[in-house]
Structure formats: structure tokens, C-alpha cells
Amino acid sequence: MWLLQKKHNEVGDVFNFIFSIINIVGASCKKMEVIREKQYARIIEGLKNGEIFSGRGLNQETSFRRYGDTRWGSHYVTIIHLLAMFSSVLDLLEIIREDGMNSKQRTEVVILTDIMESFNFVFMLHYLRRILAVTNEFSQALQRKDQDIENATSLLKTSKERFKMMRENDWESLLEECHLFA
């Protein structure tokens, strides 16, 4: 991931912003409790309105954890969690902005809020989620003890095909997803 970040500044910037968001949001148990409460309220409201559905494995409580520089899977999980709790994180940042401990923290929160609300950031989150979904699946498969070279080669070919399909066909659905999200 470090190499990807180094070669592509926008990707590196997104991960730096995510890291800053996690540092602020996950800095205390009190902040995480606020996010849990906000997220719980959103889920209850969404269930009542029929916007989201319940079921096994759906709408589980999520939290942030710091990701490792070399673990693609941890980047993927972090992005999924941020997307799932996006509105709750924005709500918390607004609370911190109003009640922040010091001007430096308030300034940082204002900047991060502006970034999170920008189309570019939302687009990159969704785009990276799709890319990392493919690489995560491939990475998980390669880590299995029973993996053989023939199957690994087949998985690589499948991953390459999925990337090609994404490059050719996914733009419209990705843009629609970002607009619906924002």
C-alpha cells in the first residue's frame, strides 16, 4: 500500500485523511460512544423507514481501528467502516468543532469536515473500496494454507478480469453511488 500511496498522491492523501479522522474520532471512549449512539439512532430510523433491512450479519456495530501500512485488508475494512458510519462521523466532527478543546483541534476538525464533504473524497472512498475488495479477496485466498499455484493463478486471472471490467464499465454506477451518498 505504501508504494501505491507514494506513486499516487491522491490515494496517499485519502489514507492520510482517513488516518487523521480515525485519530480524532477514536481518540477517546467518549467520542466512540457518541458515534455508537448516532449510528444506532440512524439504524433504528432506517429500519423504521424501510431504507435498510435487518438480518444475519447486517447492520452490525462497527468501530474504527488503526490500519497497518502493509495490510491491504485492514485498509479495506477501515474504508468500509468509515462509509458505514460516514454521517455519524460528520455529526461527531460537528460536535467537536463546537465544543473542541482548543483552536488547533477545532481548525483540524473544520478542515477534515470540508474534506469529508467534498465529492473527491467521497469518490475516492468508494473507488478504493471497490479496488480493495478485489485485492482483499485475492489476498485472503493466497493466505489460505491449502492454496496451490494453479488455483492462485486462476484467482489472479479473475482479479485482472474484474479490474478490467471495473475500468470499462463501473464509472456510471460509481458516480451514481457517490451522488447518492453525498
pLDDT digits (tens, 9 = 90+) for 25-61: 877 788 888 888 888 888 888 888 877 766 655 445 5
Say what the pLDDT of residue 83 is. 92
Write down the number of H helices and E strands in the chain. Answer: 9, 0
Grid coordinates belonging to 53 = 433491512
Contacts of 142 (CB under 8 A, 6+ apart): 152, 155
CB burial of residue 2 (10 Å; 0-12, 13-18, 19+): exposed
Grid coordinates belonging to 173 = 454506477
Number of domains in the chain: 1
Residues 80-132: pLDDT tens digits? 999 999 999 999 999 888 887 788 888 999 999 999 999 889 988 988 898 88
Domain that holds residue 49: 2-181
